[in-house]
A and B are shown apart, each in its own frame.
Chain A
Amino acid sequence: MSSFFFHPGLFVAGLIAVAVPILIHLLNRRRFRRVDWAPMDFLLKAQQINRRRIKFEDFLLLLLRCLAVALIGMLVARPFLANDKSGALRQLARSERVIVIDDSASMNAQSGGVSSMVKAKDLLRSWIAQLSSEQPNDTVTIALTSAPDKLLANGVPLSENAAADLLEEVENLSTSDISQSMESALGKMERLFSGEGGSQANRVLYVLTDLRERDWPTSGGGTFDVLSRLASKAAGCYVVDVGSEETENLVIESIAPREKAFVSGAPAEFDVIVRNFGRRPATGVTVRLGTDEGLPVERTIDRIEPGQSGVAGFVYTFGAADGEGAVEPVALTAKLGGDSDDFADALPSDNERFFAANVSEGLRVLLVDGDITAKAENSESFFLRKALSPRGALKSGFVVTVIDEAALATEDLSAQDVVVLANVFRLDEERRSKIEAWTRDGGGLMVSLGDHVDDAVYNESLFAEGGVGGMKIVGVQGDPSEEEWLQPVITDEAHPAFRFFTGENRRWLERIKFFQWWKLEITEQGEEEGPVDRRVLARLGGSEGDPLLVDAPWGEGRVMTVASALDLDWNTWAQEGVPYVIAMQEICRYLARSNVLEGEVVAGDSLKVSFDIARYRMDAEVVMPGGQTETLRAAPSAEASRTSEWWLDFGRTNSRGHYRVELTPSGAGGAKEARLFSVNADESEGNLFREDVERMDALLETSGAKLVTAEEKVLSLGGMGAKVEFWRAVLYLLIAVLCVEMCFAWWIGKRR
């Protein structure tokens, strides 16, 4: 029965409902009044005259009512006939064309000077013209894969005016940089297909696409599954290939800074990674990196093998901050190719990549000093502070703040990149949870264990299960009289913090004398949850000695534990100068959470800026790549009752480029502070590889779709076995039956 009805169940329900008038009739017979009647003879006579006629009329009325109910059931079940069976009903056939246009960046790929998008637009125009002249009753629905929710046309019948409007819309179509997926776009279409609203029997789906591997992964699943579900609901399903075999394409895949922070006045290293998505090796690829102002720096990558990527290294020195105020962010742009580049690049739009360098004055290090004394050089943090920000013209890239244990409770950690607990006596619960939350969120913590440390408290809080874990302070080792000492041995030369202490340079570190230290016992608990990424950088006295430097993860962040003091009390490290400065700076750099990629946004995603509402006004300005500005209002965060943190959220990152969000300080006269974002298209769009047509054809065939070229005629529905609905005829019949029923009932009532 499902070959005649869209909802056979409803039809069966209608047939069952036919029993209702019969039941009503029978029930009516059971309910009666009783009258004691005198002139029975008259009644009997009257009945004799009428009986047969009444019975016949009642039967006819019942038949009409049953028929009406059955027709209602049929109507809601939406009957159809296959086109070849319908013949006379053919004029009732109307179809809906659902056209999905792939407007991903890869549709820009050119072949013979014509891009896939242009081909798709030409095809669409000719279709609209043809439909509006030949089948103006048909409706058209057009969707773009970048915005499947926002239909370009939704069930529009192609009258002359509508066609003209639609043509204009098509004219304005262009590819979108927004990251998108064919699978999810078709998934949205599926919702449209199953929705009650515009359900039509003759729905034909057309997908205009360039069939790139990215959207049509031949490994199976995804897109093909969705398409086969759609095809089963549609009268026809066509995938129209508007792409080309051209696949030669170079893409700037990423701009990867080596630094963890961009410091004003300090040089920063960048790796610009270029990938060759083509099938031929690319030679002499020139890469330029620079700002809009000033000359770009140019580098050349000699050769990139197909499928591989090449790296061009750049050093860029940010301008020094001029006095007060915030440091201006720098908008960097990397571009591919020079004039002499003969590489046939199919997709020019991905030869450019933007990078937002939010420059700061340096990494912020918070030194919590457990041994502050009136005499500065006796304080625990004295040497460390000197090491991180030495005097002189050259910038070290650190901004150091020293506080005592008490101040830790009120200090705002969110602005800090590294926190150092230097010889702190103990952490109470409040401070410990504050540190823990910050570290777990990605912060870098350095803990130095000196003579003030209460080992029992440390073992129960910081190193306990749920804390850093896997470590225990056992006791103080060494010789307080400083007559004996141990020297460290580097046990993890590959650790990034020790990149300067390799080879010959090891001895710089290995000649330091340690008189006293805390013995750290590394327990192997927590191993069941997989190996812990814990690294012992150095041990004392030999490769089996007590651990001196231990780097362990804690949530998202990392904790570097130094088993001895950072001043001169227990060792000679600070005395040595160079190894101390380098080690401390490198460890802090290693621990600092990186914020250099915070400005990276994929097109279509939203820009998010959090700020303290006490410091800035709630209205901010967004400067978009074209130069237009837009005012944006911030909203309080979910935890607004506890913090003064507010959020700006900007979603219209539709085109690539630099976006600048300008915050205005709430105080009078303050200069605007800018945060810079770079919006790039999804670099995987640059992969123009596609499966060959035969294999694609076979794959689509199994999904119930048909692969056609742009030249093939696919608008005629003749051979498709389209379904012709005749619910309209049923409706008319129903109305007629109801009218006859009413007239008949009225007539009978009147005549009796």
Chain B
Amino acid sequence: MLATEDAPKNYLDPRVLEHIKRLDLRARRVVEGFITGQHRSPYNGFAIEFAGHREYVPGDEIKHIDWKVWSKTDRLYIKEYETETNLKATLIVDCSKSMKYGREGWTKFDYASTAAASLAHLLQHQQDSIGLVTFDAKVKDVLPASSRMIQVKEIAHTLESTEPDSGTDVEKVFLELAAQVRQRGIVAIFSDLLAETNVIRNALERFRVRGHEVIVFHVLDDDEIDFPFDEHTRFVGLEGPDIVQTDPRALRNAYVEVVEEYLKEVRKAASSLGVDYTLARTSEPLDAVLSRYLAWRNIGRRRG
């Protein structure tokens, strides 16, 4: 037992994961480690909700079309069985330039995509259908939700081939997304949320008003929170033209204050909107973040 306790830890260390280049493999490792380390069954959570019929969208399997409804209404509806997928999850991953930050090659984007892929893997286990949206200043790639076995691989492939390369405009993008993701379900957002807090609040609100259940994985690097620099440094903005040259020691306290204020604001916004919010530091093992989130969610569910 002792050995198995150790093994997953090794898998889940971000630095170890970094060496695994294929994202789907990486995600499986995370989930396997996560499941081995988890005492409670994760199946408790997602698949209990009822869906009923829903309109056909291209990509749905034809065999699920309810031909009876079609004969009455001349419309294509998908008949969703209780034993099959009853949850639709959309993973929204930020691939703006700011996600490129990270030391020793392990960027926030790497972390976010691994987390997204891991979550996808986990949901796949429950036969939920999963979709993926990546965005920077605009929506980049969209994978419609599907419960096919191949879906995880496709998600992983899409994320792997994405290079964070441009600025963010959270408000505009989220508006667009909220319109696109019409069916109620889970919306999991992986982003560093570097924007004005009221902008973030507005964006999240749009998902909530559409009845989505919103989960936010706020991915931040340790450096961005703790500001540990002590040499004279020139900071060059990743998304903007700003350059600050300073002695970081002189700024540390003020910076940490500003960040804390910001995080507090974000948390406040999230809780007031009923959004599940998890701060994910890139140095933290992924399974810990996932399990923390799930544990929190279970508590919330039992209470609900």
* A36 touching B100, Cβ below 8 Å: yes
The tally of CB-CB contacts under 8 A between chains A and B is 98
Most buried by B among A32, A36, A43, A44: A43
Most buried by A among B254, B257, B262: B254
* Chain A residue at minimal CB-CB distance from B237: A40
Residues of B contacting A29 in the complex (Cβ-Cβ under 8 angstroms):
232, 245
Give the docked Cα–Cα distance between A751 and B251 (Å).
10
The reply on B75 being an interface residue by CB < 8 A is no
Residues of B contacting A42 in the complex (Cβ-Cβ under 8 angstroms):
224, 255, 258-259, 262
The reply on A191 being an interface residue by CB < 8 A is no
Known: A38-B224, A39-B194. A46 touches B258 (CB 8 A): yes
User: How does the 8 Å CB contact mask read for B202-241 relative to A, with 1 for contact and 0 for none?
Assistant: 0000000000000000000100100001011111111110
Per a CB cutoff under 8 Å, which of B238, B247, B250, B251 touches A38? B238
Give the docked Cα–Cα distance between A749 and B97 (Å).
33
The reply on B246 being an interface residue by CB < 8 A is yes
Chain A contacts with B in 19-43, Cβ cutoff 8 A: 28-29, 31-43
* B249 touching A749, Cβ below 8 Å: yes
Other than the given A37-B238, A40-B235, 11 more pairs (CB < 8 A) read: A28-B232, A35-B233, A36-B238, A38-B221, A38-B224, A38-B239, A40-B239, A43-B235, A46-B255, A47-B251, A748-B250
Residues of A contacting B244 in the complex (Cβ-Cβ under 8 angstroms):
37, 40, 43-44, 47
The reply on A45 being an interface residue by CB < 8 A is yes
* A50 touching B251, Cβ below 8 Å: yes
Residues of B contacting A713 in the complex (Cβ-Cβ under 8 angstroms):
none
Give the docked Cα–Cα distance between A34 and B229 (Å).
11
* Chain B residue at minimal CB-CB distance from A749: B249
The reply on A49 being an interface residue by CB < 8 A is yes
Interface residues, chain A, with chain B CB atoms under 8 Å away: 28-29, 31-47, 49-50, 54, 57-58, 748-749, 751-752
Residues of A contacting B259 in the complex (Cβ-Cβ under 8 angstroms):
39, 42
Q: Shortest distance in angstroms between A360's beta carbon and chain B's nearest beta carbon?
A: 93
Give the docked Cα–Cα distance between A28 and B262 (Å).
32
Known: A47-B244, A752-B251. A35 touches B258 (CB 8 A): no
Residues of B contacting A58 in the complex (Cβ-Cβ under 8 angstroms):
250
Give the docked Cα–Cα distance between A32 and B234 (Å).
6
Residues of A contacting B234 in the complex (Cβ-Cβ under 8 angstroms):
32-35
* B257 touching A38, Cβ below 8 Å: no
Known: A33-B233, A38-B101, A40-B235. A46 touches B254 (CB 8 A): yes
Give the docked Cα–Cα distance between A33 and B253 (Å).
20
* B258 touching A45, Cβ below 8 Å: yes
Q: Shortest distance in angstroms between A737's beta carbon and chain B's nearest beta carbon?
A: 22
Give the docked Cα–Cα distance between A37 and B252 (Å).
15
Give the docked Cα–Cα distance between A38 and B233 (Å).
14
Give the docked Cα–Cα distance between A36 and B101 (Å).
7
Per a CB cutoff under 8 Å, which of B108, B194, B231, B232 touches A41? B194
Per a CB cutoff under 8 Å, which of A32, A41, A46, A751 touches B245? A32
Chain B contacts with A in 248-274, Cβ cutoff 8 A: 249-255, 257-259, 262
Residues of B contacting A44 in the complex (Cβ-Cβ under 8 angstroms):
242, 244
Known: A36-B100, A44-B244. A752 touches B250 (CB 8 A): yes
- 12 residue pairs of the A-B complex, CB under 8 angstroms, read A31-B232, A33-B231, A33-B233, A37-B236, A39-B194, A40-B237, A40-B240, A44-B244, A45-B258, A49-B258, A752-B250, A752-B253
Per a CB cutoff under 8 Å, which of A32, A35, A39, A49 touches B254? A49
Give the docked Cα–Cα distance between A47 and B258 (Å).
10
* Chain B residue at minimal CB-CB distance from A49: B254
Interface residues, chain B, with chain A CB atoms under 8 Å away: 97-101, 108, 192, 194, 221, 224, 229, 231-240, 242, 244-247, 249-255, 257-259, 262
Residues of B contacting A749 in the complex (Cβ-Cβ under 8 angstroms):
249
* B194 touching A38, Cβ below 8 Å: yes
Residues of B contacting A33 in the complex (Cβ-Cβ under 8 angstroms):
229, 231-234
* A54 touching B98, Cβ below 8 Å: no
Give the docked Cα–Cα distance between A751 and B232 (Å).
18
Residues of A contacting B221 in the complex (Cβ-Cβ under 8 angstroms):
38
Give the docked Cα–Cα distance between A650 and B180 (Å).
119
Most buried by B among A31, A49, A751: A49
Most buried by B among A46, A54, A751: A46
* Chain B residue at minimal CB-CB distance from A55: B250
* Chain A residue at minimal CB-CB distance from B231: A33
What 8 A-B pairs come out closest when comparing CB atoms? A46-B254, A38-B98, A46-B255, A37-B235, A40-B237, A32-B232, A38-B101, A42-B258
Residues of B contacting A41 in the complex (Cβ-Cβ under 8 angstroms):
194
* A34 touching B233, Cβ below 8 Å: yes
Q: Shortest distance in angstroms between B105's beta carbon and chain A's nearest beta carbon?
A: 13
* A54 touching B250, Cβ below 8 Å: yes
Give the docked Cα–Cα distance between A33 and B100 (Å).
18
* Chain A residue at minimal CB-CB distance from B221: A38
Q: Shortest distance in angstroms between A52's beta carbon and chain B's nearest beta carbon?
A: 12
Per a CB cutoff under 8 Å, which of A32, A40, A45, A751 touches B231? A32
Give the docked Cα–Cα distance between A162 and B124 (Å).
100
Give the docked Cα–Cα distance between A54 and B253 (Å).
12
Give the docked Cα–Cα distance between A38 and B255 (Å).
13
Give the docked Cα–Cα distance between A45 and B197 (Å).
14
* Chain A residue at minimal CB-CB distance from B259: A42
Give the docked Cα–Cα distance between A752 and B247 (Å).
11
Give the docked Cα–Cα distance between A47 and B252 (Å).
10
Q: Shortest distance in angstroms between A76's beta carbon and chain B's nearest beta carbon?
A: 32
Residues of A contacting B98 in the complex (Cβ-Cβ under 8 angstroms):
38-39
Q: Shortest distance in angstroms between B55's beta carbon and chain A's nearest beta carbon?
A: 40
* Chain B residue at minimal CB-CB distance from A45: B258
Give the docked Cα–Cα distance between A58 and B221 (Å).
30
Residues of B contacting A748 in the complex (Cβ-Cβ under 8 angstroms):
250
Q: Shortest distance in angstroms between B258's beta carbon and chain A's nearest beta carbon?
A: 5
Known: A46-B254, A46-B255. A35 touches B229 (CB 8 A): yes
Q: Shortest distance in angstroms between B171's beta carbon and chain A's nearest beta carbon?
A: 15
Q: Shortest distance in angstroms between A230's beta carbon and chain B's nearest beta carbon?
A: 56
Known: A33-B234, A45-B258. A40 touches B242 (CB 8 A): yes
Residues of B contacting A54 in the complex (Cβ-Cβ under 8 angstroms):
247, 250-251
